[in-house]
Amino acid sequence: MKKIVVLAGDGIGPEIMTSALQIVKACLPSNPYFAFESYAFGGQAIEQYGTPLPKKTLQACQQADAILLGAIGDPKWENAAYTPEKGLLDLRRALDLYANIRPIKVTDAFLPFSPLKEQIVKGTDLVLVRELTSGIYFGEKKLSATEASDLNYYHREEIRRILRKAFQIARTRQRRVVSVDKANVLATSKLWRKVANEVAQEFPDCQLTHQYVDSAAMKILQQPTAFDVIVTENLFGDILSDEASVLPGSLGVLASASHSLSGVSLYEPIHGSAPDIAGKDIANPISMILSVGMMLTSFGMKSIADQMEQACYQVMEDGVVTCDLGGNTTTTEFTDAVIKKLGGY
Ligand code: NAD
Ligand code: IPM
Ligand code: MN
């Protein structure tokens, strides 16, 4: 029995989590393979316990076989002494989740919904590998009434391990890694590029190229099919992945997995709590469904992950589409349609 810690979180987090759990349970109807246990996290935990990352939640995560996270955050907690976002960063750091894997795949079901031309996006299948536990997010911060600074710090070992991860993933794919940096300006990027070249020596069967982040931001939209694996630092990865969500047509369809070297992994959508649509039962749950799929795949249950993913695309092709993609299906209706497609109900 695998123990899965569920952190539904804030805003649309609980809505998409409910959907994804219903779907995965429909796929494993009489199989007590997973024990799902919910814990407070984010703003919801601030309300209940006065902290976004209660000790009990962290302990449960440390002892879990996997963690599923919906989303956290809301403007109402942005001035809290300890914000939901800081709670998320602390959780990532505590579990050493340095490797954030964000697949961006435009399957044919998305083609009618992408704002970009079909000939540009068709066939897009790239993986963005984002360093998640260092860089400007975690360097020293200073803030006074007149001055502020954020230190962008990287140790070569932090660069080395994320580059290795990217090459390992590339070996299961087309063996092409693009390392994205700003080495024409930033010292951290100069070190990044040097270490990337060193790590590339360990993977002579793979190709490494370097690209500046500004030009990569353009190329991702202009010629997304040119990419196989993109590896980049924390902040660039955050920005480029939201940008890349324009390719399939919505932030609400992109999933992620965050891994440490040997501990528990966490699975979460790349988007946030979407306060603008929370509580309306209109969020797209595909991001969470595919995140659960990434968890299943890591447990050797890829065929079930594939079934869930294909069922989502099939219902989209039937015209069952949430409003972020221009449809008018509710989260509940979408969930029911996927379960029906999977043979449940
Ligand atoms: P957001 O990602 O929550 O939303 C951006 C836009 O995308 C909104 O218009 C939203 O409605 C839409 N959107 C996002 N997910 C969707 C879905 N599944 N279905 C349909 N539409 C969807 O970004 P934001 O509004 O800048 O941030 C809101 C809050 O979320 C902030 O507090 C932020 O810090 C937090 N946040 C949390 C995470 C996380 O939990 N990992 C990630 C990003 C942002
Ligand atoms: C993400 C989010 C987080 C990040 C925030 C909420 C701290 O945007 O997971 O992409 O910037 O890493
Ligand atoms: Mn983000």
Give per-residue pLDDT as tens, 38-58.
Answer: 999 999 999 999 999 999 999
Counting from 1 in the atom list of ligand 2, the atom nearest the Cα of 235 is 11
Spatial distance between the Cα atoms of 287 and 62, rounded to a whole number of angstroms: 24
What does the pLDDT read at residue 11? 98
Spatial distance between the Cα atoms of 171 and 166, rounded to a whole number of angstroms: 9
Strand order in the sheet with 2-9: 34-38, 2-9, 66-71, 265-269, 255-259, 99-105, 125-131, 229-232, 176-181, 207-212
pTM of the entire predicted model? 0.98
What does the pLDDT read at residue 28? 85
Spatial distance between the Cα atoms of 170 and 163, rounded to a whole number of angstroms: 10
What does the pLDDT read at residue 30? 73
Using alpha carbons, list the distances in angstroms from residue 281 to 214, 227, 254, 322, 328: 37, 35, 19, 10, 11
Question: Does residue 74 have an active-site annotation?
Answer: no
- End-to-end Cα, the chain, rounded Å: 25
Taken as a whole, the chain contains a residue count of 345
Question: Does residue 324 have an active-site annotation?
Answer: no
Query: What is the CA(272)–ligand 1 centre distance, in A?
Result: 3
Identity of the amino acid at 342 = L
Query: What is the CA(239)–ligand 3 centre distance, in A?
Result: 7
CB atoms within 10 A of CB 44: 24
**Does residue 32 have a pLDDT over 90?**
no
pLDDT digits (tens, 9 = 90+) for 116-169: 999 999 999 999 999 999 999 999 999 999 999 999 999 999 999 999 999 999
